[in-house]
Structure 1
Amino acid sequence: MLEPHDDGCCRTAERDSADRTWVHDAIRKVEADANRSADTHLHVFPLPAALRSKDVDLYLKDESVHPTGSLKHRLARSLFLYGLVNGWIREGTTLTEASSGSTAVSEAYFARLLGLPFVAVMPASTSQEKVALIEFYGARCHLVDDPASVYDEARRLADESGGHYLDQFTYAERATDWRGNNNIAESIFEQLSRERHPVPAWVVVGAGTGGTSATIGRYVRYQRYDTRVCVVDPENSAFFPGWTTGDGTVTTHKGSRIEGIGRPRVEPSFMPAVVDAMICVPDAASIAAARWCSELTGRMVGGSTGTALWGALRTIATMCQEGRPGSVVTLLCDGGERYAHTYYDDGWLAAQGIDIAPYTSTLEKFADTGEWVEPVRP
């Protein structure tokens, strides 16, 4: 709090030193959490036997092993540090966020770590498992029917409480240092350093905030690597049409069924100039790839991992057809256990009118022959 006083010639005000002490301790706690965590694994993906002689490799960066189980743990840590050093987060600050689930889970974790109240504003369609995880960390879930209203509602709740709207969609690209300092790009390249293709031809990621593609795209340019960045985008998302037309004002007025990626607007953190290619992936393909990956690797993965894997496999197939060797890296964003009542529930698929059979057939044929045959959408 501010302490005004009169020194005889002018009035001055100083912030209570206890506030700075609290911030120092909060930063220490967040940094200590990172120090206790090991780096995430980079798995070799078992490509089909038909491709093993093609001199191509595929890797999955397993972000599901973070303390809160997803890639968003990195983002939440960065957003909290950004808010603390900017003076936006202080002792007792009520925090709010607009989220489709995983970011809110991770932010709830850090809010509990610092003893701060947290409200997650999410679409009512968010999986039950994610809502339960957020509430487990002591946060409150504020569900809205219109996915496009989450931004304004989160800002309104922060304003009413005198709190801070974390705003992942604006600050994701600036809260993370793209030059390195233990970001995901630096981690990937360090882990690839002893592989036969240490500089990947492609890194394939989804776009939720746009922060991950911005970090990786900037990092490879800064390091002067030839790596290219491909962003995969699900149905009903604005990123793909916005990128292809160059119109950053594109909106879809629809929510994505693939939680964690896809947005009804082109988010401020999305940096189109650092993206080299985009692939629009049908939701049925994302879910088919997630289930196929889970069966093949024995690790249940979420829908956004399926989206990324579909794009990575298409990229690998193209490289093989063109006789280009190299490696491709994509992300295992979170575990599939969070989606037991959606992507892994046949009843939910039927209610959504989603038929994954043609896409599963493409993946199975690719596994058997190494040939990629694009399915005809039903």
Structure 2
Amino acid sequence: MQAEIRSIGWKKGASSMKDFSNLNLYSEYPDFQVAQKQRQEYLDGINRLIEHLRSQSEEKREAYMNPESYCENPEKYRRDYYEMLGYPLTDYHKGMPLPNVRKWFVGTDDRGDIYRIQIEVLEELWFYGMYFVPKGKREEKSGLVIMQHGGGGSPELCSDIVGENNYYHMTTRILDRGVRVFCPQILVWNRVIVAEPPQRVLPEYDRHRLDNALKQMGSSIQAVETYGMMRCLDYFCADTLVDEDKIGMTGLSYGGFYTMMVAAADTRIVSAYSSCAMNDRFKYDWLDWTWKNSGNTFTDERICALCAPRRYYGEIGRNDAVFTWDTAPDFNRLVKPFYRKFGCEDEFCFHVHEDEHRFDLDDHAGFDFFMEKIV
């Protein structure tokens, strides 16, 4: 390229800076692509570095946590998991004072009694959800399932209270088995619910910005919401009408991811059913699903392993357009050895059903397996 020498006419201001306005400077303007090759090489180098680090990660995860080491000290790994996610999960311990609660009756339908509930999981942080008591169980002790909605969802949506959905009546199916249901709200709702006038909107937020702000302070949205659900369980397990030995959790999509994460954190959950969420976390490396060094310690298969020896059922749809089934690792091969070490290999199952991004319709597959420990 022929070098061009030109004068840059900077404006003088009230400054003590030396005046360079009359210098003749080499310029490549307006050709910004002169160093395109070097920039591409730098970018390629970053991508090669990532691929190199990821290629070593499986060996590092195996060295960090294997069936033998986990079986020897599962709570050590659970505390490491808390540390990875951050505050307030790191402060959770048994015997904490029960949280403050606001609860009000909504109504009764053919399924049972319906309540709205807020639980103060941290000072002035009120976790919201809907609580269902199955018909005929108002004064009778029964198990409890946390039913977690997915992205864009709400407790009302996953409970057939508003709108059509892809949850296949899961809340109703659980209630039909005589089990109480708590449907918490997590920070993944769609702001615009009805676009046509009169428009209906929910509070506006930026999940990733909030997550980044929390991570700056040693926390994460996952830590806050996992802790929130554990504090909710503190409240429910203190209720004499809730059988604390029969606690389960299930969810779809984001809710399936949360089912995996919360079940790994809280051993009171004796049975978990995660639908359409478990996958290759290097392919689906979303910002709010990524934490420092998680690729070398806790990707999905080892988070699932933290549930051993408790019951766990995972599934994905062969026609799922959100999280593809063929990118999901062989979870049965990767997780069952942890269960086998406890002598309960059959307590874990991962299944590919023939449907789309939704729960399996077949009760005799995952649902019966999941509910067996809770009914």
**TM-score, scaled relative to structure 2:** 0.30
Higher helix share: 1
Higher strand share: 2
**TM-score, scaled relative to structure 1:** 0.30
